[in-house]
Amino acid sequence: MNTGFNSIRKAIILASAAFALSACSPAPESIAPESMAPADPTFTNAAAVQQQFADGSLTSVALVEHYLAAITEHNHQGHNIRAIIEVNPDALAIAAELDREREQGITRGPLHGMPVVIKANIATADAMATTAGAKVLEGFITASDAEHIQQLREAGAIIIGKANLSEWANFRGANSISGWSGIGGQTRNPHVLTHNPCGSSSGSGAAVAADFSLLAIGTETDGSIMCPTSVNGVVGIKSTRGSVAGHGIIPIASAQDIAGPMARYVYDAALLLDGMATSDARTRFGMPLSEAAQQPFTGESVVLVRSYDQRFVSVQALTNQVAEALRNHGVEVIEVTEWNLPSDLGQAEFEVLVYEFRRDLEQWFADFDSPVQTMQEVIDYNLANADTELALFGQEYLELAAAIDLEGDKDSYEAALTLSRELAEAHLNRYLQDLGAAAIIIPAYGPSWPIPPVEGPGYSFGTSTAAAVAGYPSITIPGGKEGPLPVGLSMMGLPWSEAQLVSLASMLENELGGFQQPQFLPELPATNAED
C-alpha cells in the first residue's frame, strides 16, 4: 500500500530552487542545501523559512518587513484587497528581539520568528483592537490575550496584524455580504478582485493568498475557515471540538466556535496548529502534526463523495483526479453519490447558534470589560447609525438572539443541541464507522461568486456543516480551478484523527499541485463569466 510515497518523498528532497513556489510541504530537515528558497521571501513557505532562519539567510525582521510592505502596497491601495484591518506597530520590534534570541542560540520552538495574521474577533493584549469588525467596538483594546494567542506568543510567533472578517463572524443579518465589516470594508478575492473571499475568516484567507503573511488564524462556526480557504485557494484546518482553547474569541456559539490555521501549504497549517492546540489535544493527536505532514497516509480506504460532479466541470475533474491518485497509492476508494444532510439538522443547528449567541456574546462582553455589555446595546448602536451600519443588510440574527429568554428557552435549546449533534454524527458515521473509512473526501465549496452589486451567479454549494456541528476535524486544500477561481477539496475524519488527515492532505497536495499564486484579475474574463 502507498508504494508511491517513497518516490514522492525522494522527489521532495531533491526538489530544485523552485521549491518555495511548489505544492510540496517538506519539513526543514528534508531540504537539501541546493534546494533552499531564494532570499526573496515572496510566496515562501514555513519549511523554507525555518531553513533560512537556521542558516542565517533570512531574519524575522526581513520577513516582517516584506509583509508590511505588501500590506502597504496592496491592502488599501494597489489591488485594494482589504484583508487587513490594522497592523501591529510593535511587529518589527518583536521580530528584532526574536532575531537577537536566535543569535544567542535561543529558539522558542518551530514557530520562532514567524509572522501570523489574526482574525479581528480574537482578543490580543497589544496595540491592536478586538472588534469582530463592528463599529460599536472600534478601538477596543483587550487587557488579555485569547488563550491560544498567548500560546503562540510563547512559541515565538509574531502577531503582525488583525484580519478583516464578515462582521460579527457573518451572524448579524440574513442577507449579510461575506467579507464585509463596518470597520474593514469589503475584502476582495485576490484571484478575481470583483469576487467574494467568502467568510467569515475572509481576511485571513485572502491575506495568505495575497502574500500579506506567512500564516493566519481564522475561526469557524460552520464554514468560516473552510469556505474562505476553498475560494482563496489555500489550506485551512478545523480541528476536533475542544482541541484549541476557545476563550477570547468573540463568539457566535461555544458549541461550534473554534480557531484554526490558514496557510498556503499543509505543512505550514499543521505547524501553526501544533502551536495553537491544547496540551491535551497534542497528546491525543499522537504526534506533532507538522511531522504527520511528512508521514505516509496509512488508511486502507476512503469515501469519495461525488454528489457535486455535475455542478462544475472543475469539480468532476477534481474527483476523477483524486480517485486515480488514491488508487495509485494503494488506497481503496469507496465512491458515493449521496450527501443529503438530515432534514432537521439545519433548523436544530440554527436554534443552538441563536441561543448561544446571546448567552456567549454577553459573557464575552463581561469577561473582557467591553464598552457595550448587552446585545441590545449593539442593536441600538446600529439603529442609531443605520445610514452606514445597516445600509447594505440588516441585523435580524442580533434581534433574534436578543429576544432569547435564556432560562425560559433553555430546555428547547438543550434538546436542539443534542439533536443537532446526533444527526451530524450519524451522518458522518455512516461513512467513517459503518464503511470503516479513514476519511471522507468531498469538494469543499463551489467557486467564488461576484460581490454585490456586481451581477453574476451566486453562492453554489458548501459541505462544512456536518463536521462543524459534530465537532469532527476537517481540512481543506486547493483542489483545482474553475477558470481563474479556486475550488477546494475537504477531508473529514473521526475525532482526534488529525494526524491521519494531515498525512492524507499532504499526499493529495502533492498530487493536485497545491497552492497557485493569485492573478489579481480586475474582473472575471468574459469567457468564464458565462460558465
pLDDT digits (tens, 9 = 90+) for 244-258: 999 999 999 999 999
What is the per-residue pLDDT for 391?
96
Mean pLDDT confidence for 488-505: 98
Interatomic CA distance for residues 43 and 38, integer angstroms:
11
Catalytically annotated residue among 201, 213, 224, 503: 224
Catalytic residue list contains 25:
no
What's phi and psi for 325, nearest 5 deg?
-65, -45
CA angle 508, 512, 515 (to 5 degrees): 100
End-to-end CA distance of the chain: 39
pLDDT tens-digit map of 258-294: 999 999 999 999 999 999 999 999 999 999 999 999 9
**Cβ-contact 228, 254 below 8 angstroms:** no
User: How many helical (H) and strand (E) elements, i.e. helices and strands, does the chain have?
Assistant: 20, 13
Q: Which amino acid is at 267?
A: Y
Q: Residue 82's Cα: distance from chain center in Å?
A: 17
Using the predicted structure, report yes or no on whether residue 6 has a pLDDT greater than 90: no
**Cβ-contact 360, 121 below 8 angstroms:** no
What is the per-residue pLDDT for 88?
98
Residue tagged 474562505 (cell numbers) = 228
Please give the full DSSP string across 397-422, using - where no structure is assigned: HHHHHHT--TTTTHHHHHHHHHHHHH
pLDDT tens-digit map of 434-473: 999 999 999 999 999 999 998 889 999 999 999 999 999 9
Tell which wins on pLDDT, 453 or 63.
63
- Strand pairing class (215-220; 115-119): parallel
Catalytic residue list contains 200:
yes
Tell me the chain's radius of gyration from C-alpha atoms. 22
Query: Among candidates 131, 121, 132, 135, which has minimal Cα distance to 387?
Result: 135
pLDDT tens-digit map of 196-226: 999 999 999 999 999 999 999 999 999 999 9
Residue 446 DSSP label: P
CA angle 351, 354, 358 (to 5 degrees): 140
Query: Among candidates 161, 167, 168, which has minimal Cα distance to 180?
Result: 167
Catalytic residue list contains 162:
no
What's phi and psi for 375, nearest 5 deg?
-65, -35
Assign domain 60-298+449-529 to its CATH architecture: Alpha-Beta Complex (3.90)
What is the per-residue pLDDT for 35?
47
Total-model pTM: 0.92
In sequence order, which residues have a C-beta less than 8 Å from that of residue 194 and are 6 or more positions away? 188, 450, 451, 454, 522, 523, 524
Cell readout for 28 is 526543514
- Strand pairing class (115-119; 158-163): parallel
Residue 338 DSSP label: -
**Cβ-contact 343, 17 below 8 angstroms:** no
What's the burial of 286, exposed, middle or buried (CB within 10 Å: 0-12/13-18/19+)? Answer: middle
DSSP helix, strand, coil percent of the chain (3-state; round to 5): 40, 15, 45
Interatomic CA distance for residues 333 and 397, integer angstroms:
41
At 36, is the pLDDT very low, low, confident or very high (cuts 50, 70, 90)?
Answer: very low
What's phi and psi for 163, nearest 5 deg?
-90, 145
Catalytically annotated residue among 60, 119, 204, 474: 119
Mean pLDDT confidence for 166-175: 97
In sequence order, which residues have a C-beta less than 8 Å from that of residue 427 and are 6 or more positions away? 341, 342, 345, 466, 470
Hey, where are the domains in the chain?
Answer: 60-298+449-529, 346-416
Using the predicted structure, report yes or no on whether residue 7 has a pLDDT greater than 90: no
What is the per-residue pLDDT for 526?
82
Indicate the average pLDDT of the chain: 93
Catalytically annotated residue among 181, 200, 490, 506: 200
